[in-house]
Amino acid sequence: MAKTKTVYVCTECGQDSPKWIGRCPGCGQWNTMKELTVAPSKASDSITQSLHVLTGMERHAPKPVLLSTVKAEKEPRYLTSDAELDRVLGGGLVPGSLTLLGGEPGIGKSTLLLQTALRMQGRKLLYVSGEESERQIKLRADRIALHANDLLLLCETRLEQVFAHIKNTCPDVVIIDSIQTMALESVDASPGAVTQIRECAAMLLKFAKESGVPVILVGHITKEGTIAGPKVLEHIVDTVLQFEGDRHNMYRILRSIKNRFGSTAELGIYEMRGDGLHPVDNPSELLLTQGGAQLSGIAIAAAIEGIRPFLIETQALVSTAAYGTPQRSATGFDLRRLNMLLAVLEKRVGFKLAQKDVFLNIAGGLRVTDPAIDLSVIAAILSSNVDTAIEHNICMAGEVGLSGEIRPVSRIGQRISEAAKLGFSSILIPEGNLKGLEIKNASIEIIPVNRVEAALRSLFG
């Protein structure tokens, strides 16, 4: 019989070590190594064995095969009834795949999966919830005003039981909400512990691969923004989707961080309403403040997130610091990047901002990582500083370098056409992007700029 042994596993990243150490060599966190008792080979062997016992699937041992004899027809994908979700998945759910949907609590993961499950036609779905009762789920379904077709509901946290029900009901798709609440009785750890998550996910992966049934897992996110539990969870699954947005705001973004079956550049945008999540087809129109008086401190950026262009409002407020140390705060934008842009403005353009509080906000509660938004950040800050509004029909795109130069950005054509489509009369673009640019939209004036000073001159005269 294999001897039990003690290992130390990092609760943040899953790295293990035979001895206790203060700092995890994997993720560099302090004091995260926790003691675990494991019976190594025996435990994992019994798990695979129990999978076959539990689900009644046949065991087959893989053998080496000639690659040239492997048939690879384009696998039919399961369409999920949600066009945005299908697109982010790379064209639907792949049979036998394991997908992880991560997101902060309350962002709408359960809502998204429940409404997708309820709308999916012609497939038998099993929705396993370890977090809510049947009544709670029913109330949510009533709220999104959809009535169950063939959706089977199971409120269970013991994975062995889940597999027993899978055996009896033979579902086409399995949804597990959430992986942190599931536990295997054969593993000696509480739900949510690293070993428990790892073993449960491994067993679900094995089930998905052998039965061809796609499995979707919900995963919680820690306050640091990583999926709670071991990093290995992300390695195990085929696809990692992240649901993000500001909980107090209505927009949500669904991104794919890892996708073995498609691109990770796709992005889905939803709006959370009283009756569930609704896809947003033209985000730009919603993200821009319609009409109203022209205010200072607002600049419109032609940004691209994923592969979609949209126009987004950057808002800045600059005021004299009330206390000795000025405050800098950014919502939806990297604070370090804001500090860098402020330094560029001080040093290269000569604006004195050292004694000013600077607040920056990206409208709509979105988080933008596209560097092309830099130019509008700078423009919004200066507009607020000199209290002069920027013409409402001008937008801009450009990355700002440390010496105050404006660097070319990707896919400028798409940005220009999106701006033209929304009726902007001019757009500031980096001079470096002019080369090879075919101007198809005569309706929009293109203003090439090469330095921050030039950009500000054309905005504020």
77 near ligand TYD, judged by CB under 6 A: no
User: Contact region for ligand TYD (CB under 6 A) — 136-144, 203-211, 315-323, 421-429?
Assistant: 136-144
| Binding-site string for ligand TYD from residue 195 to residue 234, where x marks contact by CB under 6 A and - marks none | ----------------------------------------
- Minimal distance in Å, beta carbon 181 to Mg ion? 10
What does the alpha-carbon distance between residue 140 and residue 144 come to, in Å, rounded to a whole number? 6
- Minimal distance in Å, beta carbon 238 to ligand TYD? 21
275 near ligand TYD, judged by CB under 6 A: yes
Cβ–Cβ under 8 Å, residues 254 and 139:
no
110 near Mg ion, judged by CB under 5 A: yes
User: Contact region for ligand TYD (CB under 6 A) — 149-157, 196-204, 269-277, 360-368?
Assistant: 269-277
Residues 139-158 that bind ligand TYD (CB under 6 A): 140, 143-144
DSSP 292-318: S---BTEEEEEEEETTEEEEEEEEEEE
Among ligand TYD, Mg ion, none, what binds residue 451 when CB lies within 5 to 8 Å by partner kind? none
How many residues of this chain interact with ligand TYD, rule: CB under 6 A? 15
Among Mg ion, ligand TYD, none, what binds residue 276 when CB lies within 5 to 8 Å by partner kind? ligand TYD
What DSSP character marks residue 179?
G
The token pair at 74 is 């384009």
Beta-strand relationship, 16-17 and 276-279: unpaired
| Binding-site string for Mg ion from residue 70 to residue 109, where x marks contact by CB under 5 A and - marks none | ----------------------------------------
The token pair at 183 is 């536990």
Among Mg ion, ligand TYD, none, what binds residue 268 when CB lies within 5 to 8 Å by partner kind? none
Pick between residue 175 and residue 301 the one whose CB is nearest to ligand TYD: 175
User: Residue 350, exposed/middle/buried by CB under 10 A (0-12, 13-18, 19+)?
Assistant: exposed
* 252, 258, 259, 265: CA torsion to nearest 10: 60
The token pair at 226 is 């990583």
For residue 362, CA distances in Å to 49, 164, 246, 334, 343 come to 52, 48, 11, 11, 20
181 near ligand TYD, judged by CB under 6 A: no
| Binding-site string for ligand TYD from residue 98 to residue 127, where x marks contact by CB under 6 A and - marks none | -----x-xxxxxxx----------------
- Burial pattern 56-94, b for ≥16 Cβ within 10 A else e, equals ebeeeeeeeeeeeeeeeeeeebbbbbbebbbbbbbebbb
Q: Phi and psi for 270 in degrees, rounded to 5?
A: -125, 160
Q: Is 106 left (phi over 0), alpha (psi -120 to 50) or beta?
A: left
Residues 419-458 that bind Mg ion (CB under 5 A): none
Pick between residue 109 and residue 123 the one whose CB is nearest to ligand TYD: 109
Q: Given the rule CB under 5 A, which residues bind Mg ion?
A: 110
Binding residues for ligand TYD, per CB under 6 A?
103, 105-111, 140, 143-144, 272, 274-276
